[in-house]
Amino acid sequence: MHGDWSRRVMHTAPTVVQKWEEEQVEAEEVRQFQVIGPRAPVIAFVGEEVVVSYHLNPSIDAQNMEVRWYRNDPSGLVHYYGTSQDHMDQQMPEYRGRTKFLKGNITKGLVALRIHHIRPSDEGEYVCFFESSTFYNKAQFKVLVTGSLKKKHGKLRKEYGKLHEELGLKYARRYAAKTDNMFFYRKCYPGSRHSNPYLQITDDNKSVKGGDTFQELPKKRQRFDNLVCVLGQQIFSKGKHYWEVSVKNKIKWTLSICKDSVCRQGEIMVSSETGFWTIGLNRNNDYQALLNPQKTLHLEESPETIGIFLDYEAGRVSFYNVTNLSHIYTYRNCFTGSLRPYFYPGPLYNGQNEHPLTILPLGHIRKAIGRRRSM
């Protein structure tokens, strides 16, 4: 009897140990990660600043990891973060007082390094190194410094910046066309549960316009009760995203991204200070970026289509005039928390502003790229 029991224990014991070991192996595998950052060289101007962003794949909390940024070898330390704080004692003298570690989204594995007052000597190869208690990985990037454009060739520098932004539009459109963004495009559409009761949203959720009839809608915290606008269904917390909106035949409108947490009740100031990064057209035919104070934008041609490109990790949202493929304006910010598309179609003005804001389908972008390639 006892012999049978002991044999059963001996027979089952390896199975328990084996299961525990398998769980440990699985846990170790989960903690592995890739370090992902810019593939192309990062361009910086002497005397200005540059921000280089990296994220972990999969997205895991990096608060308790060590993050090192260094030049050719670990001894050339540019910035060091560990035990949830910065350690500057071993930093290279030439970088002291010029670096800032941006960790607003570190719980999602998103970090960035800002280098101030760029010098010609900052050009070269860099490494971003992440280390947890069980695993480490790294990625390299290169910084190219344009040392003489600012002082001696201001016009050339301005033209270069313009070219760089316009190339950003081409990249964004090709990125959207090559990736499977149909799900994204559907989810970017205005969401009725966020809309003001005076707005009219089409059944396919692709278009929104102002109305003069108040609709009896369920009262919800997500719904704007005073500002006649609507947010998109899609939530952004990482990655690159691009979409296009038709503003054809409209005399007033505003488009943007905004924080998902923005106030939606009562009087609201739409500004970058309150979590709205917007551009728009007013009744005086002025295009504006809604900063505080507002910034007037001078466009060579009135757009019929606006392109919006969000690069979450880089902290940039750019607006483009797709009609003539030109750059309009770029906001630069270190984003934290979730973001959503924002649509304000403007009031009717006795039927003069009755055309809707319409999210253009992905096929529209693919056809446009195809036409340009065939020209």
Residues 6 or more apart whose CB falls under 8 angstroms from that of 207 comprise 201, 356, 357, 358, 359
Residues 6 or more apart whose CB falls under 8 angstroms from that of 20 comprise none
CA distance readout (Å), 202 to 209, 220, 358, 368 = 9, 20, 10, 25
Helices (H), the chain: 2-30, 149-152, 154-178, 182-188, 362-374
List the strands of the sheet with 66-70, edge to edge.
Answer: 42-45, 136-146, 124-131, 66-70, 77-82, 85-86
- Which residue in 357, 364, 366 sits closest to 256, CA to CA? 357
| 8 A C-beta contact, residue 235 and residue 241 | no
Residues 6 or more apart whose CB falls under 8 angstroms from that of 258 comprise 231, 275, 276, 277, 278, 339, 340, 342
Looking at the DSSP bridge assignments, the partners of residue 244 are 307
Relative orientation angle of helices 154-178 and 362-374, to the nearest 10 degrees:
120
Q: Tens of pLDDT along the chain (375 residues)?
A: 444 444 444 444 455 545 545 554 444 445 799 999 887 788 888 888 888 889 998 889 999 999 999 997 788 899 999 999 999 999 999 999 999 999 888 998 989 999 999 998 999 999 999 999 999 999 999 888 875 444 444 544 454 445 455 556 776 777 666 654 443 444 454 555 555 556 778 878 788 888 766 665 656 666 676 677 888 888 898 888 888 999 999 999 999 999 988 877 777 788 888 899 999 999 888 999 988 888 999 998 999 999 998 888 888 899 999 888 888 999 988 788 899 999 999 888 777 888 999 988 876 666 665 555 554
Residue 187 is predicted with a pLDDT of 45
Domains in the chain: boundaries: 34-152, 159-374
Cα atoms in the 13 Å half-sphere on the side-chain side of 260 = 13
CB atoms inside a 10 Å sphere around CB 277 = 28
Classify residue 370 as exposed, middle or buried by CB count within 10 Å of its CB (0-12, 13-18, 19+).
exposed
The CATH T-level fold of domain 34-152 is: Immunoglobulin-like (2.60.40)
The CATH T-level fold of domain 159-374 is: Jelly Rolls (2.60.120)
Q: How far is CA 100 from the centre of its chain?
A: 20
**Number of residues in the chain:** 375
Dist CA 316 CA 276 (whole Å) = 13
Q: Is the pTM here over 0.75, yes or no?
A: no
H/E run at residue 276? strand 276-281
| Terminal alpha carbon distance of the chain | 89
Residue 25 is predicted with a pLDDT of 46
Cα atoms in the 13 Å half-sphere on the side-chain side of 224 = 26
